[in-house]
Structure 1
């Protein structure tokens, strides 16, 4: 991105504000942070909405800006490959339009396309990337802030093309060009130089280059810390400085959410087997990462991860897993454009697995199931048990059940499903199989994505179990109407608790809370249900204000609810309610719990939110965080609950205020006046917020927030109260929107806002 684009962003925000598109203006400024900070849930909602709105407003630069950052958020930290290629190509084409090509950020489209291609198959797209990046770099000089990013991708493409020496030379030349233009290289370009040196076999120089670039300003400051220590660990491992490499390696919980780092981290761990715990847990995580790259089209990444994970499995004698991973790596080759030498690497893994010695089982073959059941679940190694039980799987039902479900647990559901399917369906009669076997098999088939087999299985089962199996499948695929229909039939044919839960849950998803509650009500008297079912009935009954059922269910749980009829509106304790925001994020709102599954919001919310102070919402009464065991911590702990739905809006309206912070006495009076009237107020600014003294230019502590008034109070009443309580303040407070609403002194508030830079 060029510096001019940020000036343009600021100007566009002002234009949108003035045109009344305040929400869009605020969202626009936050999109880059969402992409870099990993707030992808927000980004995936906000960026497409901005792009669509920009298209409607015929603002192509704005549309490009939103699409660029959304794509960067997908192909950067999330390392999405082939699944994003079409969008990346479309953005590059969009950037060539006459009304977009002169945008200072337009070269970024080629950069993110190159990143997407690298995520898909770096070596396979190396020449394509070099050609496209080279063409853009011919027209972008080092004075542009786009230069470092493009040069970084060019170096990466040279490395993938096997031209390590050229990559070193190009990186060094790019750094010098930047220095000649009076600018410093980005940290990412410095790191690319270190990677090029490492690829060229110059590990000592790579370490020196990495150390020299540590002070460079990063394009992605959020990721710099973990990426730098990871690269340093890899270089140190290459140098054989294992203890230092282990110390530098980022912990798994640091990089676990950042797919971009997974291949490099796994490769580094593969060089540190003497200093890193090579356990089944590590193998399970690597298998999850492989599955992720399968889902996003990271073909090269899944190949490399499969080989690395396979060699790690050999090192810990998980030979069955090493052989499966060799199969996975071999299958990935078909999706790659550059395949030279890959088959040989797979063959090396298979040879290593064949040459390794199998671990001896803990007991005689015919006693292994008993040994499995007697093993301590907290210390047992499921990877070893898969290997030990494999000779029995398919011939002994008890062994097959344990073997295949453990395979599923370790990430190999398709393999487990195939074995279990042969035992139950091909070699046996599923109608004669036990409920547990059908349940386990159905679960494995669903996890493995073998939906047709589930349907085939259901066709061979008695009606009750047939409907239940199909209900499980539809539930997993979120086909709610079909789930409800099949689960209802299962209940009608005598199926038990699971079918009733599936039926109720599907009906709730379809928006009928009343019917969902009715489906669960029989559990109150039958005793068939568990505590979670009673709580769920409470939530559903609360949502439809069936207070008699709420009281009956509460009594079953021993809750001290006051007797009576009608709504339960008690004052229990403070809670935190987690509610959705329009931008896809979540907001935490302080509230008072008023019943088993209700809370009244206490904090005024900004305009545009679907809830406000005074609203009563339904909550899921399962705490989202564990309650502290320490008594002192427990006293100050406010339990968080997930908001479910609005129950009764309070009708409150929020009004914004902003200005220089008053004195302590003035602020105390301000709070007291509002509290006396029962008008909730909340300060949203922090201690870093500053406003500008209009006479001296001095930076003053500022304060902004929202005040909510009930529907019985006219806005003019709030305006009068605010005017009275702030009249003697050293610096005036502004409430511009309120003043415009009531038509009183709007110009004065506009002047205050302008003079104080609000």
Structure 2
């Protein structure tokens, strides 16, 4: 994006704030950070909401801004492919509108489209990407130039024109220099990849070293992206020890799909070294990544990763897995524009798998189930056991149970489902099958997303198992009405506590807390019920204000309560209630716990939030953080809980104050005045906050915060109390918004704000 757009963003924030739209003003500033820092849960909610609001306010640049950053958050680190293509094409069309095309950020739409195409099938879309980028005609003076040049280099590499890609990267860097600009780190990295593709790894390392100091467009990702690329270059050069040292750990790259293929290639090159362990755990993770790319429609990455994972499986003698990965790659290749481009590599993987001799089983075939059960669960290799049990699976029920669940655990539930299907469903034995086997095959079918198959199987099951299987399917797909219906039917047919839990959970999702609590209350005295069930019942009963059920649950878990009837309103200590903020982040609000699952917020909140001091909220009693082990830390620990919903709003209104900090005695007296009236006050400034002395210009310790007043107190009364409490302070305190609201001395507060630089 061009620098002008950021000035425009700042102006837009100020205008929105002045117009009273504080929540939106706060939100738009946080969207880029959410996209780059990986706060996708927030981004996926906030960015579309901003775009929708911008459309209502007829602010097309703001709408483009929100849509662009949301898309970058999807196609950048998350590497979405086909699932993002239509949105990328729509954004390009939007950028061509007369009221948008002059936006300095408009070239970003082309960037987003070619990234989505590269994620989908880089080689297949290479020509189209090059054409779109060439048509953009962005000059080096624009901050978009480096990003579009980076994408042009990548498209040339995908098109098999690595030498041209190197030349283009060098020319782009030179043009930037002539314009007084420096290349981005990402453009430098694209040049490194081009040099690797051109067979010049030593030059690639030199280029990577030179690019290290370049400013990144995505500073959050630079460290791990550079580490992965450096490891790949060094591994290509055969400098294994240095490559291993540069390679980020799995737990670092696990949340960054964009680097998975490159990281896996580096691991494959290093798999023969003593420092890199090629294990079944690695194979399982790679299969999870492959499945992720399938969901995202990242076809080329899925195939590349399957082939790398297959080579690694061959190296550890995982013959069955290598063959399945070859099958997967062949199937996925049908989605490419040119499936033949990977045919030779798939054939090579099959040949390599066929040439491997699997490790021998630990004992005779008819004793393998016993060996499996006796194996050390911590050190056993499930990948090998899948191969050893395969000849028995589908014929011997005990072997089938172990084989199919293990292969499902390793990421191949469809294969496990196929075996069970042939053994139980096709044979007709499913009607009399053990509940355990029905549960196993249901889980495999759900995980393999074979919904139609599961529904076909359910038709052949007895009523209780049929309804429970369908309820599990609907729950997995978040179809809550159907899940509740099937869960209820399963309970009626005698399916047991799992069905009841599922039913209660589904109706809770449908906001029928009273019914959910009743469902679990019916088995409160059962030996099957667990503490987690009781807490869920308490939470739902609290939301429904069914205090009798709350008390019954509290008695069940041994939680003493003072009152015996009516609403529970007791002081049970301080808690932190975690609530959503307008920018998509979360706020931990210190509160007073008033019941097993209720708390009253104690901290005043800024206007624009949906909650404030005095509000009574329902929370999930599951701790969000463990209690510290040391007694010293326990003394200051305030347990955090996630808010579930509002029970009763307190109706409080918050007012902002700001100014130079008073003396300790003045501040103590001020706090006492607020406390006597029961008006919550919270200081949000820290010890580093300063204001400016109006006469000397020297910094003074400052203080700002919020005071909340209940609905029976008027702003006029608060203004009078503040005026009286602070009139003898050395430096005045300002409450500008309140003064404007009541129409009293607004000019004085404006002057204080101006003179003290508040």
TM-score (norm 1): 0.96
Partner of 2:88 in structure 1?
88
Deviations 1:485-521 (A, max 9, x none): 2222222222211111122222222222111111111
Partner of 1:127 in structure 2?
127
Deviations 1:528-578 (A, max 9, x none): 312221222221222222222222222222223335222232222322222
Partner of 1:67 in structure 2?
67
Write out aligned runs for 1:310-389 (5 A): 310-389=310-389
SS of corresponding position for 1:419: helix
Against the structure 1 CA distance between its residues 293 and 666, is the aligned structure 2 distance closer, same or farther, given a 3 Å change threshold? farther
Partner of 1:498 in structure 2?
498
Q: Distance between the aligned counterparts of 1:511 and 1:110, measured in 2?
A: 43
| Higher mean C-alpha displacement, 45-54 vs 328-337 | 45-54
Pick from 260, 263, 268 the counterpart of residue 265 of structure 1.
263
Q: Distance between the aligned counterparts of 1:163 and 1:699, measured in 2?
A: 60
Write out aligned runs for 1:156-167 (5 A): 156-167=154-165
Shift of 1:247: 0.8
Deviations 1:14-60 (A, max 9, x none): 22223332222221222211211112222212221222222222222
Deviations 1:650-691 (A, max 9, x none): 222212223444555554444343234332222334456555
Partner of 1:679 in structure 2?
679
SS of corresponding position for 1:55: helix
Against the structure 1 CA distance between its residues 615 and 160, is the aligned structure 2 distance closer, same or farther, given a 3 Å change threshold? same
Partner of 1:196 in structure 2?
194
Q: Distance between the aligned counterparts of 1:31 and 1:597, measured in 2?
A: 33
Q: Distance between the aligned counterparts of 1:689 and 1:133, measured in 2?
A: 47
| Higher mean C-alpha displacement, 536-545 vs 236-245 | 536-545
Residue pair 1:41, 1:585 contacting (<8 A) in 2 also = no
SS of corresponding position for 2:600: strand
SS of corresponding position for 1:588: strand
Q: Distance between the aligned counterparts of 1:194 and 1:661, measured in 2?
A: 55
Against the structure 1 CA distance between its residues 353 and 518, is the aligned structure 2 distance closer, same or farther, given a 3 Å change threshold? same
Partner of 1:177 in structure 2?
175
Q: Distance between the aligned counterparts of 1:53 and 1:487, measured in 2?
A: 39
Partner of 2:56 in structure 1?
56
Deviations 1:404-443 (A, max 9, x none): 1112211111111111111111124211111111111111
| Higher mean C-alpha displacement, 468-477 vs 582-591 | 582-591
Partner of 1:559 in structure 2?
559
Shift of 1:133: 1.0
Write out aligned runs for 1:422-437 (5 A): 422-437=422-437
Against the structure 1 CA distance between its residues 28 and 295, is the aligned structure 2 distance closer, same or farther, given a 3 Å change threshold? same
Q: Distance between the aligned counterparts of 1:20 and 1:39, measured in 2?
A: 27
| Higher mean C-alpha displacement, 2-11 vs 573-582 | 573-582
Q: Distance between the aligned counterparts of 1:51 and 1:652, measured in 2?
A: 30
Residue pair 2:72, 2:112 contacting (<8 A) in 1 also = yes
Q: Distance between the aligned counterparts of 2:163 and 2:700, measured in 1?
A: 55
Q: Distance between the aligned counterparts of 1:249 and 1:732, measured in 2?
A: 57
* Number of positions where the alignment pairs a residue of Structure 1 with one of Structure 2: 756
Shift of 1:584: 3.7
Write out aligned runs for 1:213-612 (5 A): 213-273=211-271, 274=273, 275-562=275-562, 564-612=564-612
Residue pair 2:501, 2:520 contacting (<8 A) in 1 also = yes
Task: Show structure 2 runs of 5+ residues with no match.
Answer: none
Shift of 1:304: 0.6
Against the structure 1 CA distance between its residues 699 and 198, is the aligned structure 2 distance closer, same or farther, given a 3 Å change threshold? farther
Against the structure 1 CA distance between its residues 241 and 730, is the aligned structure 2 distance closer, same or farther, given a 3 Å change threshold? farther
| Higher mean C-alpha displacement, 288-297 vs 377-386 | 377-386
Shift of 1:397: 0.7
Deviations 1:216-246 (A, max 9, x none): 1111111111111111111111111111111
Against the structure 1 CA distance between its residues 95 and 661, is the aligned structure 2 distance closer, same or farther, given a 3 Å change threshold? farther
Against the structure 1 CA distance between its residues 554 and 207, is the aligned structure 2 distance closer, same or farther, given a 3 Å change threshold? same
Deviations 1:359-407 (A, max 9, x none): 1112221111122222222222221211111111100111111111112
Q: Distance between the aligned counterparts of 2:148 and 2:663, measured in 1?
A: 52
| Higher mean C-alpha displacement, 324-333 vs 639-648 | 639-648
Q: Distance between the aligned counterparts of 2:668 and 2:263, measured in 1?
A: 54
SS of corresponding position for 1:526: coil
SS of corresponding position for 1:87: helix
Partner of 1:720 in structure 2?
720
Shift of 1:635: 3.1
Residue pair 1:613, 1:680 contacting (<8 A) in 2 also = yes
Against the structure 1 CA distance between its residues 663 and 91, is the aligned structure 2 distance closer, same or farther, given a 3 Å change threshold? farther
Shift of 1:696: 6.4
Against the structure 1 CA distance between its residues 146 and 543, is the aligned structure 2 distance closer, same or farther, given a 3 Å change threshold? same
Q: Distance between the aligned counterparts of 2:451 and 2:162, measured in 1?
A: 47
SS of corresponding position for 2:221: helix
Q: Distance between the aligned counterparts of 1:292 and 1:419, measured in 2?
A: 24
Deviations 1:665-723 (A, max 9, x none): 55444434323433222233445655556666666654432221222322222222322
Residue pair 1:142, 1:177 contacting (<8 A) in 2 also = yes
Deviations 1:448-477 (A, max 9, x none): 111122222221112222222222222222
Residue pair 2:26, 2:583 contacting (<8 A) in 1 also = no
Shift of 1:757: 4.9
Residue pair 1:45, 1:583 contacting (<8 A) in 2 also = no
Q: Distance between the aligned counterparts of 2:655 and 2:44, measured in 1?
A: 29
TM-score (norm 2): 0.96
Deviations 1:305-331 (A, max 9, x none): 111111111112222111111111111
Against the structure 1 CA distance between its residues 665 and 277, is the aligned structure 2 distance closer, same or farther, given a 3 Å change threshold? farther
Task: Show structure 1 runs of 5+ residues with no match.
Answer: none
| Higher mean C-alpha displacement, 481-490 vs 280-289 | 481-490
Shift of 1:727: 3.3
Against the structure 1 CA distance between its residues 531 and 20, is the aligned structure 2 distance closer, same or farther, given a 3 Å change threshold? closer
Deviations 1:132-168 (A, max 9, x none): 11222x3x22121111111111111111112112111
Shift of 1:117: 0.9
Against the structure 1 CA distance between its residues 700 and 219, is the aligned structure 2 distance closer, same or farther, given a 3 Å change threshold? farther
Partner of 2:209 in structure 1?
211
